[in-house]
Amino acid sequence: MATCHLQSFWVLFLAVSRYFAHTTSTSHVHIVYLGINQIHDPILTSKFHIQVLSDVFASEEDAKRSILYSYSNSFSGFSAKLNSSQATILASMDKVVSVFRSKTLKLHTTRSWDFLGLTLDEARVTPMEFTNGQDVVVGIFDTGVWPESESFQEKPGMRPIPSSWKGVCVEGEKFEPAKACNRKLIGARYYLKGFEQEYGPLNMSEADILAAFDDALHDGVHVISASFGATPPLSPFFASSADIGSFHAMQLGIAVVFSAGNDGPEPSLVQNVAPWSLCVAASTIDRSFPTEIVLDSNFTIMGQSIISKEIKGRLANAITYFVDGVCSLGNWNRKLATGRVVLCFYTPGLVYEIAQVAVKTAKGLGLIFAEPFTKPIADVDADIPTLHVDINQGTIIGNYLAESLKLPVVQISRSKTIIGKSPAPTVVYFSSRGPSSISPDILKPDITAPGINILAAWPPGTPPTLQPSDDRLVRWNFQSGTSMSCPHVSGVGALLKSVHPGWSPAATRSAIMTTAYTRDASHDSILAGGSMAGSTPFDMGAGHINPLKAMDPGLIYDMKTSDYILFLCNMGYTQERIERIVLPSPGVDTNCKNMHGPNANINYPSISVPNLRSPITIKRTVRNVGCGKKTTVYFGVAKEPNGVEVVIWPRVLIFSPSKQEISYYITLKPLKKSEGRYDFGEIVWSDGFHHVRSPLVVLVNNSNDFTM
């Protein structure tokens, strides 16, 4: 983010995933994943990869030609162009954990790009200010960086690059290391081979992502921020570069923060759901852009937009230009709307982007779009200025129009910026929702953070609307999406790393989650965008991030290797596979026969039970990270999900200098016959000062059972 005084390491992808061409060859880029690196010498590991690959090629030369990346720094694997029979043979080998086709991943930024130009008063933007975080290196995986931006200039007094840093600043297109890298932007690499093999020269991909993880882990980053993902259906965990890379990062103590995706508000489309990473939803901040609509000089209605120039014309109803008043190109009756602002209503499928194209084609002056929920996104006004109003306001405007003898004069003033707007935060309608479609017993997303209308550095060579017809040059632009909320959480992760260098990624995640808030600025429950109801944990996970509280969480739910092994066993991985991917450590049992209990027993900071038939008891262990020098007493309170009895025992946890870690149990008992609906509650431990909160999500599924 623009104002983090953090030293950042950027992993560059110079290409976007939107364009892909078809390939005629029957060979495709595959990733062959071999698990932990057993050899500990990158050169010998790469030789070993060629040797493995040679088994499915006529010669070693052919094998060398087909290999793209040898992942040998931080884990073992390679990517290569393979046909289906070669892939099948490799997958059957004992030393191979998984083989999968390299996919093109999607960037988690919405297509609603917003523009305000250079007139914005930067001082009024309220991003998070960090005064801490020195010597923490954040690895950011993105499609590019414009190092000349003020956002990446080192500030006087920034400390030298940490001596633990082993990364480099690689030369790229229009990217000169000597000018680009400094004490803030300390390194950059880019990866294209996987994409080029599959789709031709210079355009991104998964094989490249895994190479980025392999290097980033080796280079010494502390936190990785990754705003991409693959749309569901989700791949098994070890057939996904993001999940493999983040698993190895976690084992090295590096927290990985992913965006949840922008596929909401329908349920079950959340991405990046592994229990070893953090998954971030997006919410609004307390800033809005009210825009006045004045009819006939005497009737005013407020819309939402970013309009930088006053607009004056006549207001007309969509029915004049579109069959049935539905503003789509297919319904246009070829009548021109020159000089007119057109009032269009949402109908199912008619998103405002479609109406914009239609009204623009009809040569309209502007668009007032009435929709069920006013979209909080500040809109592109380059092509056709658009005001968002809700259905009630739209109805009032429509009725005024119907009663007017001639078309009313409409005056739209420049948008204002208002800070302190309520309700805020609200989870944005497009933020991807839980439950996880692959492991609903791990609650995802984990947390929500600001992801709407975020002002960020913008490359001057790229039009703010991404449209070729747009010839403006800007240094800053508004962007929206979970890819904007993800770096906020990575920044907080870096902050926590600098304050608590010894914390594991799970401890960091626990601090972020258990201190999150669930009430908005007016003390009401945080609204879910796209509905008129409060958010559930499927919208926002544990709630909205609270960086200052996260520094002093009181208690921590840490995770041990055995938690991850339990999860992998429950997901069907065999002992042999698990031993290939888990770094060996003394006393760790990898035998699934000795692993008992559902995923709900993993020491996660939230609790999700998606199939409660009869009473179950779940175990959790908390560690006191508050003042350890004196005795601290915590009391547990449960808010019961509807129709579920919750008993916590013991109810009182007494921490002392010699006893900092205590386990407790939660018994859940269904009190109703039900199926197919989730209910929500929470568990809170408090010592009077800290409130350590865990969301509790339960689906009672017993309506087909004979007895209760």
Ligand X SMILES: *[C@@H]1O[C@H](CO)[C@@H](O)[C@H](O)[C@H]1NC(C)=O
- Under the rule (CB under 6 A), what is the footprint of ligand X? 19-21, 26, 57-58, 83-86, 199-203, 296-299, 610-611, 675-676, 699, 701, 704
Pick the closer one to ligand X by CB: 296 or 383: 296
Pick the closer one to ligand X by CB: 109 or 701: 701
Asked whether 138 and 184 are in contact (CB, 8 A), the reply is no
260: region left, alpha or beta (phi > 0 left; psi from -120 to 50 alpha)? alpha
Residue 23 beta carbon to ligand X: minimum distance, rounded to whole angstroms: 9
- DSSP string of 476-509, one letter each residue: EEEE-SHHHHHHHHHHHHHHHHHH-TT--HHHHH
Pick the closer one to ligand X by CB: 121 or 403: 403
Residues with Cβ < 8 Å from 371, sequence gap 6 or more?
Answer: 345, 346, 352, 388, 389, 390, 391, 394
Residue 81: exposure state from Cβ atoms within 10 A (0-12, 13-18, ≥19): buried
Pick the closer one to ligand X by CB: 281 or 699: 699
Residue 200 beta carbon to ligand X: minimum distance, rounded to whole angstroms: 4
Pick the closer one to ligand X by CB: 131 or 298: 298
Pick the closer one to ligand X by CB: 199 or 352: 199
Asked whether 406 and 293 are in contact (CB, 8 A), the reply is no
Pick the closer one to ligand X by CB: 65 or 124: 65
Residue 402 beta carbon to ligand X: minimum distance, rounded to whole angstroms: 12
Cα 684 to Cα 708: distance, rounded to the nearest angstrom: 28
Pairing mode, strands 7-12 and 185-190: parallel
The SS3 call for residue 431 is coil
Residue 439 beta carbon to ligand X: minimum distance, rounded to whole angstroms: 13
Residue 600 beta carbon to ligand X: minimum distance, rounded to whole angstroms: 14
CA distances from 167 to 138, 157, 254, 537 (A): 12, 22, 15, 38
* Beta pairing partners, 279: 258
- DSSP string of 226-262, one letter each residue: E-EE-PSSPPPGGG-HHHHHHHHHHHTT-EEEEE--S
Residue 405 beta carbon to ligand X: minimum distance, rounded to whole angstroms: 9
Q: Which helix (H) or strand (E) holds 389?
A: strand 386-390
Pick the closer one to ligand X by CB: 53 or 492: 53
- 234: nearest Cα among 448, 432, 32: 432
Q: Which helix (H) or strand (E) holds 99?
A: strand 98-101
The SS3 call for residue 220 is coil
Residue 469 beta carbon to ligand X: minimum distance, rounded to whole angstroms: 16
Pairing mode, strands 454-457 and 476-479: antiparallel
Residue 53 beta carbon to ligand X: minimum distance, rounded to whole angstroms: 11
Pick the closer one to ligand X by CB: 72 or 701: 701
Pick the closer one to ligand X by CB: 16 or 391: 16
The SS3 call for residue 313 is strand
Pick the closer one to ligand X by CB: 451 or 641: 641
Residue 85 beta carbon to ligand X: minimum distance, rounded to whole angstroms: 4
- 484: nearest Cα among 118, 103, 114, 9: 114
- 702: nearest Cα among 622, 620, 615, 623: 615
Compute the CA torsion angle 339, 340, 341, 342 (nearest 10 deg).
Answer: -140
Pick the closer one to ligand X by CB: 525 or 702: 702
Residue 321 beta carbon to ligand X: minimum distance, rounded to whole angstroms: 24
Tracing tokens 């626990």 back to the chain, one arrives at 510
For residue 590, report the phi and psi dihedrals to the nearest 5 degrees: -100, 5
Residue 567 beta carbon to ligand X: minimum distance, rounded to whole angstroms: 19
Residues with Cβ < 8 Å from 378, sequence gap 6 or more?
Answer: 114, 116, 289, 304, 305, 306, 415, 453, 478, 480
Residue 16 beta carbon to ligand X: minimum distance, rounded to whole angstroms: 8
The SS3 call for residue 557 is coil
In one-letter notation, the amino acid at residue 647 is V
Cα 281 to Cα 273: distance, rounded to the nearest angstrom: 12
Pick the closer one to ligand X by CB: 20 or 517: 20
Q: Which residue is nearest to ligand X (CB)?
A: 203
- 480: nearest Cα among 552, 446, 438, 529: 529
Residue 651 beta carbon to ligand X: minimum distance, rounded to whole angstroms: 31
Pick the closer one to ligand X by CB: 199 or 332: 199
Residue 697 beta carbon to ligand X: minimum distance, rounded to whole angstroms: 13
Tokens of 554: 């009181």
- 557: nearest Cα among 469, 620, 488, 641: 620
Pick the closer one to ligand X by CB: 111 or 124: 111
Residue 296 beta carbon to ligand X: minimum distance, rounded to whole angstroms: 4
Tokens of 557: 């739910």
Cα 237 to Cα 438: distance, rounded to the nearest angstrom: 9
Residue 531 beta carbon to ligand X: minimum distance, rounded to whole angstroms: 21
Pick the closer one to ligand X by CB: 200 or 460: 200
Residue 62 beta carbon to ligand X: minimum distance, rounded to whole angstroms: 7
Pick the closer one to ligand X by CB: 57 or 345: 57
